[in-house]
Amino acid sequence: MSQVQKSEAAASCLEGRRILVVGAGRSPGARQPAANGNAACLALARAGARVACADRDLEAAERTVGDISEAGGQAMALQADVSDVAQIEGMIDRAAEALGGLDGLVLNVGVSHRTPLSGLTPENWDAVLNVNTRAHVFCAKYALPRMAPGGSIVFVSSTASRRPGGRNPAYETSKAALSAICRAVALEGQPAGIRANTVVLGLIDTPMGRAATQARPDRLAQPMPFGRQGTAEEVAAAIRFLLSDEASYINAVELPVDGGMSAGIVLRK
């Protein structure tokens, strides 16, 4: 197969798939750097999928739908605050009904209050865990019965799950928990041929990443693989792959998208 043929195959690897992305919105203004959810939705649509873009901010979801429409893809916007479990089942049902079923689910939603251990309260701990962990459990629970055989779920995690340097224990714990949740979902989905995997993100240049850098200027002072941060588009390519049939025998894995950072492969000055 030529490089052109390979590119064409990648461009249509999700043709006809029906995929819900939770945490899909884009903030107003400049589109760069892209947010992970927005970039994932665009990549999936360009690969032929019809995408339901869910976000707690409906206007943010609609901006992503607009980006997809400009690119010639098909998408719809949904509003749901997944910190409220009562809204999750309705979101899944609306997406499945609008798309005519579900073949894929991307759980990109997440928050970080960057609160150190000394500043934790039950309330701010729960605020992070309710979005970053509990919501993922119930999204998967309600999605699995609606998903077609051979479907795929992707959880979006972080190398913060393995590194305490950010002094952000609620966020770090919430991301570490996703690995166990992913394995449980993979086991539950296996009889129907539904896979579940996790992408573990390193330093990615996104609006949320830039906010973290403002709070922790040392983030960019450390050596980085290839001497740079990753991009949301590189994250989106990994998500697209895990949702495709090219990953049909990949299940319950953690795929680092970090340039080798978690393996200690960095460019030292």
Flag whether pLDDT at 267 surpasses 80: no
Q: What pLDDT is attached to residue 108?
A: 97
Flag whether pLDDT at 50 surpasses 80: yes
Q: Please give the average per-residue pLDDT across 241-258, as a whole number.
A: 98
Instruction: Please give the full DSSP string across 49-109, using - where no structure is assigned.
Output: -EEEEEESSHHHHHHHHHHHHHTT-EEEEEE--TTSHHHHHHHHHHHHHHHTSEEEEEE--
Q: Please give the average per-residue pLDDT across 19-45, as a whole number.
A: 94
Give Cβ neighbours of residue 255 (< 8 Å, ≥ 6 apart): 197, 198, 199, 200, 238, 242
Flag whether pLDDT at 1 surpasses 80: no
Distance in angstroms (rounded) separating the CA atoms of residues 167 and 137: 25
Q: Which amino acid is at 70?
A: E
Flag whether pLDDT at 7 surpasses 60: no
Q: pLDDT tens, 172-226?
A: 999 999 999 999 999 999 999 999 999 999 999 988 777 766 666 676 777 889 9
Q: What pLDDT is attached to residue 223?
A: 82
Percent of the chain topping pLDDT 90: 79
Q: pLDDT tens, 73-127?
A: 999 999 999 999 999 999 999 999 999 999 999 999 999 998 999 999 999 999 9
Is 142 part of the annotated catalytic residue set? no
Flag whether pLDDT at 57 surpasses 60: yes
Flag whether pLDDT at 144 surpasses 70: yes
Domain map (residue ranges) of the chain: 13-256
Number of continuous H segments (helices) and E segments (strands) in the chain:
9, 9
DSSP 8-state code for residue 248 = T
HEC secondary structure over 24-54 = CCCCCCCCCCCCHHHHHHHHHHHCCCEEEEE
Confidence label for 12 from pLDDT (cuts 50, 70 and 90): confident
- From the candidates 80, 171, 230, 238, give the one annotated as an active-site residue: 171
Confidence label for 166 from pLDDT (cuts 50, 70 and 90): confident
Q: What pLDDT is attached to residue 4?
A: 37
Flag whether pLDDT at 9 surpasses 60: no
Domain 13-256 in this protein, CATH class: alpha beta
What pTM does this model have?
Answer: 0.92
For the chain, give the mean pLDDT.
Answer: 92
Please compute, for residue 243, the number of CA atoms within 13 A of its CA located in the half-sphere on the CB side: 39
Q: What pLDDT is attached to residue 207?
A: 82
Q: How many CB atoms lie within 10 A of CB 265?
A: 12
